[in-house]
Structure 1
Amino acid sequence: MTKIESLFSTRLYHAALSDHGAIHPGELETSCYSIAEDDEAGQDWCEENGYPGYTSYASLPDLPWRSPIFAELVKVLDAHVAAFAKDLDWDLGDGKLELEDIWINILPEGGIHTSHIHPHSVISGTTYVAVPEGAGALKLEDPRSSRMMAAPPRRKDARRELQPFIYVQPAVGDVLLWESWLRHEVPMNMSEDERISISFNYKWV
């Protein structure tokens, strides 16, 4: 009897931030803009490195200390990450998952985040503060792509779990989590309005 099964699953966690606590999107958006306006070091880094828009990644490692709403956000994210780790069947032993870093992204029209991974953490994710129409989905790459070598391309109507790239369209207030080795990117923002998100990494300690 023929048996075909799927192996080595890649999990993606997609939930409403509010499932584990109430964070007001408007207040979060106001805080993002206020922090960005005051962060001269971050503005300088973005300009020097040709980064579109603004990110606090290289300048402000202490957002939860600087802003009460970010401290509350981390508590909510901790709960989401714990739920995802449970789904992954991880045995953390005597260790725990701990926030490593968290940063703001403000992506203007024409801005992109090119394909990358987060090699020093175990869970990465993003929560979405402003997602105007045309702002672009999160694009996830099949982690086996570099090993496919001479394989023929997939059909356009291939089953979702067999497609080489998956696009996930988030909404305001969503949180997405994935294992940090999963390559991902943000396609070009085609909207005239800014796309605002908050990204983060968790490590196992």
Structure 2
Amino acid sequence: MADIKSLFVTRLYHAKLSEHGPKIDAEELDASCITIAEDDEAGQIWCEENAYPGYTSYASLTDLPWRFPIFADLVKALDLHVAEFAKDLEFDLDGRELQLEDLWINILPEGGTHSSHLHPHSVISGTTYVAMPDGASALKLEDPRSARMMAAPARRKDAREDFRTFIYVKPQVGDVLLWESWLRHEVPMNMAEAERISVSFNYSWA
């Protein structure tokens, strides 16, 4: 009998933020994100100049945990989730830890999208979800082998999840998703009338 097994597995971590670290008040985090977006003129200008839909603090604010205690608590929780994921990935960190590299707010309005991308120079990337109204877009993950499947037929529509070219993950408020930073991902069009709010982050090897 043939021996068929899976190789080179791509892992996705999906958990409730509350499973580790200090309790994060969801309403306070939501209000903080909105307040920051309203006050961040540099971020607003960057978004306008770069035709970025909605708002992101990625290019303007690098010290959210220092400015707002709730983001400092958020980082404490994320540190524990990332450590758990690194253990699952069986990384040999040589006695060092993965450390937060950057953390930023995303506010995506109705009709907004975030095109396919990856996060160079980081080890683990992820997002925690602050507001996911009905119709808010899922996270779309792409099979990292896609560019090498030059002559491969399309997969059947009922193919097993681990064989699909794209995976759509619909997180809930309070969820955290983690993946290795080389994994290409995107946010399809937000079909909700309300804003989709999340906080994304990168961890690097210290």
Range of TM-score over shorter length: over 0.9
Aligned to 2:160: 159
- What TM-score does the superposition give when structure 2 sets the normalisation length? 0.99
Q: Which residue number corresponds to residue 40 of structure 1?
A: 41
Matched with 2:122 is 121
Aligned with 2:120: secondary structure?
A: coil
2-structure distance, mates of 1:10, 1:137: 19
Map of 1:180 onto structure 2: 181
The runs of 5 or more residues in structure 1 that have no matched partner are: none
Inter-partner Cα distance in structure 2 for 1:66 and 1:132: 27
Alignment of 1:1-205 (within 5 A): 1-21=1-21, 22-205=23-206
Q: How many correspondences in the alignment?
A: 205
Tell me the SS of whatever aligns to 1:31: helix
**Inter-partner Cα distance in structure 2 for 1:158 and 1:56:** 38
Question: Could you tell me how far apart the structure 1 residues matched to 2:20 and 2:97 are?
Answer: 19
TM-score (ref. length: structure 1): 0.99
Shift of the alpha carbon at 1:94? 2.9
Alignment root-mean-square deviation, CA: 0.6
- Residue type at the aligned position of 1:165: F
Superimposed CA distance per residue, residues 9-34 of structure 1 (whole angstroms, 9 cap, x where no aligned partner): 00000000000131011000010011
Write out the 4+ residue segments of structure 1 that deviate beyond 6 Å after TM superposition: none
What displacement does 1:120 show?
1.2
Deviations along 1:37-87, one digit per CA (max 9) or x if unpaired, are 110000000011100000000000000001000000000000000000000
SS at match of 1:70: helix
CA distance in 2, matches of 1:58, 1:120: 17
SS in 2 for 1:37: helix
| Identity across matched positions, percent | 76
